Structure 1
Amino acid sequence: MSKIRITKQFNFETGHALYGYDGKCKNVHGHSYKLSVTVIGSPITDTSNVKYGMVIDFGDLKKIVKEEIVDVFDHATVFNKNTPHVELAKELKDRDHHVILVDYQPTSEMMVIDFAKKIQSRLPGNIKLHAIKLQETETSFAEWYAADNE
């Protein structure tokens, strides 16, 4: 059976700051992220299966990505927990803001690595994560490919 890649796209708004960076992104700011998640697998051949002909139901992929990424990161502010931004994070949390502390610099590059781990852990065994593209602006994005990480 042929291997097929399918992609689902998502949008979410997230703020962040890059501690120690030598440019404007050291300041707290936000992005309208566009996330594309591509998985690979063989279409279901069992004609009695309600998902016959699908690699994975787009709705099932959407549920995984929404629960692991979109619902968590949307309208949140992300800081590296190992920087002085933790003081700002505490202040924001005390004011009932949604803050996420991560153990990495919250760049698009590091976020796609984090997202790949989270999505891979939820996919059925017969479906593999092929690629993730996280677009930060209209002209800037980071990509993760399984083939580059074997």
Structure 2
Amino acid sequence: MAKIRLTKEFHFEMAHALWNYDGLCKNIHGHSYILFVTVIGEPITDKSNPKLGMVMDFGDLKGIVAEEIVDQLDHALVLSKDTPDIDQLNIPQMFDRFFVMDYQPTCENMIADFAERIKNRLPQGVELHSLKLHETATSFAEWYASDNE
């Protein structure tokens, strides 16, 4: 059977600041992120399976990415745990949705984190092929499974 790639597009708004950065992005600012998730597998051939002919139900993929990424990060503030005096910022009083990450919240680090989150949730026989995360209309990072084996 042929290997087929499926891609689903996701949108979310998120703010971040890059600790110790030498440009404007050291300040809290936001982006309209676009995430492309591509999985690969063989279409189901079992005629008794309601997903016959599918590699994976797009709705199931949407649910995984929503739970792991979009529902958490949409309209959230994300900072690095290394941000100085982070415990004195009173973030819980200012923001309902915030995350302190073990990494600098760059597009590159986030896409690697997203890959791990998604890979662990895919059904048997379906693999994560690639991710593409647009931070702006002209700037994006890409992750490929083949580069990370």
In which range does the TM-score fall when normalised by the shorter chain?
over 0.9
How far apart in 1 are the matches of 2:43 and 2:64? 19
**TM-score, structure 1 normalization:** 0.96
How far apart in 2 are the matches of 1:105 and 1:10? 22
How far apart in 2 are the matches of 1:40 and 1:127? 6
**One-letter identity of the residue aligned with 2:75:** H
Secondary structure of 1:143 counterpart: strand
**TM-score, structure 2 normalization:** 0.96
Contact 1:79 1:85 in 2 (8 A): no
Secondary structure of 1:137 counterpart: coil
Deviation at 1:87, TM superposition (A): 3.6
Give % identity.
Answer: 60
**One-letter identity of the residue aligned with 1:29:** H
**One-letter identity of the residue aligned with 1:144:** W
**One-letter identity of the residue aligned with 2:11:** N
Deviation at 1:94, TM superposition (A): 2.1
RMSD: 1.1
Where does the alignment leave 5 or more consecutive residues of structure 2 unmatched?
A: none
Deviation at 1:129, TM superposition (A): 0.2
Secondary structure of 1:104 counterpart: coil
Q: State the match for 1:133 in structure 2.
A: 132
Q: Structure 1 residues 85 and 50, CA, compared in 2 at 3 Å: closer, same or farther?
A: farther
Contact 1:19 1:85 in 2 (8 A): no
Deviation string, structure 1 residues 92-140 (Cα, Å, up to 9, x no partner): 2123431101000000000000000000010112100000000000000
Q: State the match for 2:123 in structure 1.
A: 124
Where does the alignment leave 5 or more consecutive residues of structure 1 unmatched?
A: none
Deviation string, structure 1 residues 25-67 (Cα, Å, up to 9, x no partner): 0000000000000000000001121110000000000000000
How far apart in 1 are the matches of 2:85 and 2:103? 12
Q: State the match for 2:110 in structure 1.
A: 111
Kindly tell me the number of residue pairs found equivalent between the two proteins.
Answer: 149
**One-letter identity of the residue aligned with 2:94:** R
Q: State the match for 2:146 in structure 1.
A: 147
Note the 1:14-25 alignment, pairs <5 A: 14-25=14-25
**One-letter identity of the residue aligned with 1:146:** A
